[in-house]
Amino acid sequence: MTETTTTLPTDAAHRDKWIEAGRGWGARAQEWAYLFEPYALPANQLVFDQLGVGVGSRYLDVACGSGFAANIAHRRGASVSGLDASEDLIDIARARTPDGDFRVGDMFALPFDAGSFDVVTSFNGIWNRCDDALDQVRTALTDDGLLGLTYWGAHQRMGLMPYFITVIQHSPQSHQAATMELGETSNVMADMLSEAGFELLDQGTVEVVNEWPDVDTAVRAMAAAGPSVPAIDAVGYDNFCEALREVIAPMRDEGRNVGVRISSELGWVTARPT
């Protein structure tokens, strides 16, 4: 990480925060990468189609996790970069796409030169209260570049809601509000974009589906998601998994013998610098 364009103060408290986020998301990196992250495929493809990601695109994925989306962009011919707070997830991203430029770092201090990218995305990475990350993205994009974001959609179409409720029930109070705030992103996204100097181009929703062969695998996958970490720290891995098992078991489609299939809605937006 040599070049940097950040103008934000990288104070110790902030540094601790992104490092802690990275540790949480990386705690069970393989499970997250292989059992959870592929659920976003329909959203990845839709956003890449909207933004015309293909041969020649200089593409950055912010909060790229294990680089699942970046690998799809690579297969479409883009030259890909990714940034995530978790070193373990970045290791997987590098294994998935050896040609990519993947960096461990903070989305509030992007370590890329200004105007380096034609397309920047963040799939469920830039949320409510991440306004400063959008400022960083604006700097990293060319003036005629394009931005695509996804975030959780309407509560009533969130099949994963029992997971989030279980997280909230078992997390310390200090983390409960943070989990709830994620759900508010769709209400504030338009304002966040315009304040960061973006014009909204298009928006919509897309259905994503988590597919697992059985309840134990579903529980293992959900326990690997970052929001699970404070709950696991509070009540222990086994107790948290038991609580998840209770809410997930009834969701198994026993009649059709198709394992656990949980459908949720993501919101998406595309935008360009004003």
Ligand X SMILES: C[S@@+](CC[C@H](N)C(=O)[O-])C[C@H]1O[C@@H](n2cnc3c(N)ncnc32)[C@H](O)[C@@H]1O
DSSP 169: H
CA distances from 156 to 19, 161, 221, 222, 244 (A): 33, 8, 22, 19, 19
Task: Choose one: 16-24, 137-145, 242-250, 251-259; the region binding ligand X (CB under 6 A).
Answer: 16-24
Residue 120 touching ligand X (CB under 6 A): no
Task: Choose one: 48-56, 118-126, 188-196, 243-251; the region binding ligand X (CB under 6 A).
Answer: 118-126
The amino acid that residue 235 corresponds to is: V
The amino acid that residue 21 corresponds to is: A
Place of tokens 């796409």: 97
Our CB check for ligand X shows the closer of 145 and 148 to be 148
Our CB check for ligand X shows the closer of 83 and 160 to be 83
Say how far apart CA 37 and CA 35 lie, in whole Å.
Answer: 7
Site string for ligand X, 219-258 (x = CB under 6 A): -------x--------------------------------
Query: Exactly one of 21, 218, 244, 260 binds ligand X (CB under 6 A); which one?
Result: 21
**Residues with Cβ < 8 Å from 236, sequence gap 6 or more?**
none
Q: Which residues ranging from 65 to 104 are in contact with ligand X (CB under 6 A)?
A: 65, 69, 83-86, 89
Residue 40 touching ligand X (CB under 6 A): yes
Q: Which of 180, 208, 228 is nearest to 31 (CA)?
A: 228
Say how far apart CA 39 and CA 50 lie, in whole Å.
Answer: 19
DSSP 253: -
Residues contributing to the site for ligand X (CB under 6 A) = 18, 21-22, 25, 37, 40, 63-65, 69, 83-86, 89, 106-108, 123-125, 226
